[in-house]
């Protein structure tokens, strides 16, 4: 039932978004078989850090906006009633914690403006860094600067994510599969849009070549979104299986691990603002990502279950992760994120403790 007590017939796009959310609640069916690569790294423990954990500073800035902690609630959902609840609970938590948030793809609300309120959270989160979101491939399917502006204005966003989901679109029965000429169109959006543009993969990683092209196109930040976390290929394969179709497993291990994407892109683009996502699950993951070159980290899927309950549950969940980050920083002797970026960290063999 809708919030007004009238059952609504969902459009094909809304139905797909609802299926995506339901599948993402089942971690086992949507997490790929690969490691993020972060587990191959170890910090050097500092037994005498000369720090008070309560004074450790997690503050940073991203896209020119101050954050109380280096964390972005990753883009996930929108377009139907349950998604509205998720987004609003996430936003209220982000406001309390002083962290950033991206919404799910707003294509559904561009097509059906009546569902725009499922993305609108500014009344609950007036101060957060809030990012709108559209699929970059839509620039080949009738979208342009006008639709990008509409997405930003719809939610009062501080920036726009253009997500890159080549593998997902290729295997999705309803997918848009023409990615030709997109670099030039992304550049046009970067030039004309009044807010910064963030380029984001969705779980297959960003290579150095693509990162360099995106930088030349004018994006202000890149979310490397490597493999090791939620696999949108697995999501689409599971959807196919539920519909009675054969789920092809050929691409189950496809992509660039989060660690590899992060380290190589940082080396190639030392000044670019980078987000590490793809399998970020703990405060130690965040600490490693920042030590390896990320400005901030992002996670999404683990927040869905808490977000279905209440803002308080989300705050408690993220609060635990941020406490882990503080402990990691204490144990390497890093009183702030600048110190964490220079903390000793080493690549080890997979069987080394």
3-state class of 48 per DSSP? coil
Q: Is residue 8 part of a domain?
A: no
| pLDDT attached to residue 28 | 54
- Residues of the domain holding 180: 17-347
| pLDDT attached to residue 246 | 65
Burial of 159 (0-12, 13-18, 19+ CB in 10 A): buried
| pLDDT attached to residue 6 | 43
| pLDDT attached to residue 11 | 83
| In the chain, % of residues over pLDDT 90 | 80
| pLDDT attached to residue 5 | 47
Q: Is residue 4 part of a domain?
A: no
> Cβ distance 210 to 173 under 8 Å?
no
Token pair of 64 as six digits: 């020119």
Backbone angles phi, psi at 269, to 5 degrees: -130, 80
| pLDDT attached to residue 233 | 80
Residues of the chain with pLDDT under 70: 1-8, 17, 20, 23, 26-33, 240-241, 243-244, 246-248, 349-353
Q: Is residue 6 part of a domain?
A: no
| pLDDT attached to residue 259 | 97
3-state class of 60 per DSSP? strand
Q: Is residue 3 part of a domain?
A: no
> Cβ distance 172 to 47 under 8 Å?
no
Rounded (10°) angle between helices 12-24 and 232-242: 110
| pLDDT attached to residue 29 | 57
How far apart, in whole angstroms, are the C-alpha atoms of residue 266 and residue 272? 8
Q: Is residue 101 part of a domain?
A: yes
Per DSSP, helices labelled H in 271-310 are 283-291, 304-307
For residue 66, the cross-strand partners are: 61
> Cβ distance 237 to 247 under 8 Å?
yes
| pLDDT attached to residue 20 | 62
Domain count, the chain: 1
CA–centroid distance for 313 within its chain: 20
Q: Is residue 5 part of a domain?
A: no
Q: Is residue 10 part of a domain?
A: no
Q: Is residue 352 part of a domain?
A: no
Place of tokens 């997902």: 168
Q: In this structure, what CATH number is given to the domain that contains residue 69?
A: 3.20.20.70
């Amino acid at each position: 039932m809708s919030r007004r007590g009238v059952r609504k017939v969902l459009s094909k796009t809304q139905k797909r978004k609802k299926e995506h959310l339901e599948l993402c609640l089942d971690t086992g069916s949507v997490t790929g078989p690969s490691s993020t690569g972060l587990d191959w790294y170890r910090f050097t423990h500092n037994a005498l850090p000369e720090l008070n954990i309560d004074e450790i500073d997690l503050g940073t800035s991203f896209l020119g906006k101050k954050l109380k902690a280096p964390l972005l609630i990753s883009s996930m959902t929108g377009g139907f009633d349950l998604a509205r609840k998720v987004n609003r609970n996430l936003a209220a938590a982000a406001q309390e914690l002083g962290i950033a948030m991206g919404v799910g793809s707003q294509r559904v609300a561009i097509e059906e403006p009546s569902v725009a309120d499922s993305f609108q959270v500014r009344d609950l989160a007036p101060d957060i860094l809030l990012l709108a979101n559209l699929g970059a491939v839509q620039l080949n399917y009738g979208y342009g600067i006008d639709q990008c502006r509409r997405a930003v204005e719809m939610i009062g966003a501080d920036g726009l994510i253009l997500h890159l989901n080549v593998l997902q679109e290729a295997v999705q029965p309803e997918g848009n599969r023409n990615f030709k000429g997109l670099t030039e169109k992304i550049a046009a959006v970067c030039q004309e849009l009044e807010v910064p543009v963030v380029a984001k993969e969705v779980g297959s990683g960003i290579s150095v070549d693509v990162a360099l092209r995106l930088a030349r196109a004018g994006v202000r930040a890149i979310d490397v979104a490597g493999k090791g976390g939620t696999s949108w290929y697995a999501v689409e394969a599971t959807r196919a299986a539920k519909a009675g179709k054969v789920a092809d497993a050929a691409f189950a291990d496809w992509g660039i691990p989060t660690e590899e994407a992060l380290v190589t892109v940082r080396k190639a683009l030392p000044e670019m603002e980078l987000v590490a996502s793809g399998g970020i699950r703990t405060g130690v993951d965040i600490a490693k990502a920042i030590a390896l070159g990320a400005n901030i980290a992002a996670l999404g899927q683990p927040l869905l279950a808490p977000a279905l309950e209440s803002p308080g549950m989300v705050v408690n969940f993220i609060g635990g992760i941020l406490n882990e980050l503080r402990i990691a920083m204490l144990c390497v002797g890093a009183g702030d994120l600048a110190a964490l970026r220079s903390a000793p960290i080493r690549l080890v063999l997979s069987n080394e403790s």
